[in-house]
Amino acid sequence: MKIWRGNEYNERGRQQLTDYLNYFHQNKGYLLSFNFNRKKETGIKTLTLGNKTIIEASKSIDYISSVTVLEQKAKIDGNKIAEYYSTIDLSFSIDETRDNRKENS
Dump pLDDT digits (tens) for 29-83.
988 877 766 666 777 889 998 899 999 887 777 677 788 888 888 888 888 888 8
17, β-bridge pairs = none
Confidence of residue 94 (pLDDT cuts 50, 70, 90): low
Are the C-beta atoms of residues 39 and 60 closer than 8 Å to each other? no
33: three-class secondary structure by DSSP: strand
Residues in the chain: 105
Rounded Cα distance, 18 and 4, in Å? 18
50, β-bridge pairs = none
Are the C-beta atoms of residues 49 and 14 closer than 8 Å to each other? yes
